[in-house]
Amino acid sequence: MKLTRRAMIKDGFLAVSAGMIMPSIFSRGIASARAQSIDGSRVAQMAGDRTLIVVQMAGGNDGLNTVIPFGDPLYHQMRPTLSIPDTSVIHLDTRLGLHPNLAPLKQLWDDGHLAIVEGVGYPNQSLSHFQAMDIWQTLDLNGTGNQGWLGKLVSGWVDQDGHPFKAMDIGVQTAQALASISAPVPTISSVNTYRIYPDPADVDNGNARLQALMKLYNSYPETSPYAALLDTTALSAQDGSKQLRNADAQYQAAVTYPQGPFASKHGKADNVVVMTWSEFGRRVEENGSQGTDHGTAAPMFVMGNTVNRGTFGEPPNLGNLDNNGNLKYTTDFRSVYATILDRWLGASSHDVLGGSFGSQNFLPQP
């Protein structure tokens, strides 16, 4: 898991990111959000210069072979070919261990910067990838929501300079979690392509042409389908591209996350929390193709200097499965979101999530 910021931007890493380590952009966006919150901004208040990185493992990550209950004989019995032998498991304690490919996470664990939340899920899973992804991102348990939880969060942030970089999305498709009805989040595949090229025959760097174009967008009849989308997209692109290039020109060090001193080269070691999620885990018992079918509950990782090391939530019981042979979830995913919102982002989880779902102690009370 070597994520350099450049690699993520260059390769369009599948990640949802509500804030990256891009100091000149985010300190300002977040600081001004805090200033605005005093005047009563809608949803979020920032407690300080803090960044949340959300990593989606799409496709249903096999939770049981990621965080392995190696001490449970049922684990080995039900996965005769797929279980990881005890000798290869990276032991965290007497009960749980990590997959051998996750050695860098062991270092974070030893440094006290890794939390594992066990048994995370929600009621009545349909075992559909797509409904599950919808639910995790929009919080609508019917899977018909259209606004993402992070999109709802950042749409409440107001940057007094009007800059769009309150959050950003790496890739070519805006992640559903960041979908916002009122404030589209910039979606970037690379710094180089996030710009509007001028006509080489222009002597004003394309300025007049861009102004004429913006006028065409601005005057597009408001009643037409997508008028607002087109207009805000154009504005966000025009402004954001300038800002991103300025920030990139000032950026120098390439740092590997989460290895080494976590983001410390930026002096931001205490300012970043990483959360991972996948729409579901896999079935406990392996299938006949040396694989696993769709499952339910799975663990989540939360990483960062401020994170309390340990296991949270409740271990699911491999001996008490549902009718399909899947784990019964023990921890509502919204309690993880709530913890991050309340204790890290200084937001009101009740407002963002639309209810109270409890919390986990992987972050200290603010």
Partner 1 sequence: MKPTDQQRWWLLRMAWTQRPLLEKMTLFWHGVLVSSYRKVGGARAYGRMMVQNQFFRAHAFDTFDNILLGITTDPAMLFYLDLTKSTKKAPNENYARELMELFTLGLGHYTQQDVYEAAAALTGWHVKGSTSRYLPRDHNDLTKTFLGQTGNFDYKDVVRILANHPATPWFICRKLFTFFVYENPTSDDLRPLVDTYVQSGHNMGQVMRTLLLSPQFSSTKAYRSRVKSPVEYIAGAYRALNVQGSGDGLPNISLLMGQTLFDPPNVAGWPGDKVSAVWLNSGTWMTRLNYIDLLLSRGTFTGRNRLSPIDLQGIVDANNIGSPEHFVDYFTSFLLDGVVDKERRAQYIDFFTTKDTSRGNAHITLKNGQSYPLNRVRGTLYLIMASPEYQLN
Question: Binding partner 1 by CB under 8 A: which of 40, 124, 162, 212?
Answer: 212
Q: Does 220 bind partner 1 (CB under 8 A)?
A: yes
Q: Is residue 241 within the footprint of partner 1 (CB under 8 A)?
A: yes
Q: How many CA atoms lie within 13 A of 315 on its CB side?
A: 15
Contact residues for 87 (Cβ-Cβ < 8 A; gap 6+): none
Q: How far is the CB of 188 from partner 1 (least distance, A)?
A: 5
**Secondary element (H or E) of residue 116:** strand 114-121
β-partners of residue 91 are 97
Q: How far is the CB of 292 from partner 1 (least distance, A)?
A: 10
| Residue from 233, 259, 306, 308 in contact with partner 1 (CB under 8 A) | 233
Q: Rounded to whole angstroms, how far apart are CA atoms 211 and 219?
A: 12
Q: What minimum distance in Å lies between the beta carbon of 16 and partner 1?
A: 13
Asked if 194 is part of the footprint of partner 1 (rule: CB under 8 A), the reply reads yes
Residue from 119, 184, 258, 316 that binds partner 1 (CB under 8 A)? 184
Q: Is 195 in the site for partner 1 (CB under 8 A)?
A: yes
Which DSSP symbol is given to 169? Answer: E
Decide: residue 319, CB within 10 A, 0-12 exposed, 13-18 middle, 19+ buried: exposed
* Structural contact between residues 220 and 229, judged by C-beta atoms closer than 8 angstroms: no
Stretch of 78-86, 262-270, 291-299, 334-342 contacting partner 1, by CB under 8 A: 291-299
- Which of 294, 303, 305, 334 touches partner 1 by CB under 8 A? 294
Pairing mode, if any, of strands 114-121 and 90-91? unpaired
From the list 148-156, 181-189, 247-255, 258-266, the region that binds partner 1 by CB under 8 A is: 181-189
Q: Which is nearer to partner 1, 84 or 179 (CB)?
A: 179
* Residue 252 CB burial class (10 angstroms; 0-12, 13-18, ≥19): exposed
Contacting partner 1 (CB under 8 A), which of 160, 199, 264, 364? 199
- Burial of residue 214 (CB within 10 Å: 0-12, 13-18, 19+) is middle
Q: How many CB atoms lie within 10 A of CB 131?
A: 18
Q: Does 187 bind partner 1 (CB under 8 A)?
A: yes
- If the CB atoms of residues 58 and 254 are measured against partner 1, the closer one turns out to be 58
What part of residues 86-145 is at the interface with partner 1 (CB under 8 A)?
126-131, 143
What pairs with residue 310 in β-bridges? 115
For partner 1, how many residues bind (rule: CB under 8 A)? 62
Alpha helices, H only, the chain: 5-11, 23-38, 73-78, 103-110, 129-138, 149-155, 207-218, 227-250, 333-343, 349-353
Q: Does 155 bind partner 1 (CB under 8 A)?
A: no
Which pair of structure tokens corresponds to residue 337? 């979101």
Task: Specify the stretch interacting with partner 1 by CB under 8 A; choose among 148-156, 285-293, 312-320, 338-346.
Answer: 285-293
338: Cα within 13 Å, side-chain hemisphere: 18
At closest approach, how far in Å is the CB of 85 from partner 1? 22
Local structure of residue 82 (DSSP, 8 states): T
Residue 59 interacts with partner 1 (CB under 8 A): yes or no: yes
**Contact range with partner 1 by CB under 8 A, out of 38-46, 147-155, 210-218, 358-366:** 210-218
Query: Among residue numbers 297 through 326, which ones bind partner 1 (CB under 8 A)?
Result: 323-324
Answer yes or no whether residue 61 interacts with partner 1 by CB under 8 A.
no
Binding residues for partner 1 (CB under 8 A):
58-59, 126-131, 143, 164, 169, 172-174, 179, 184-189, 193-203, 208-209, 212-213, 215-217, 219-220, 224-227, 229-231, 233-234, 236-237, 240-241, 287-289, 291, 293-294, 323-324
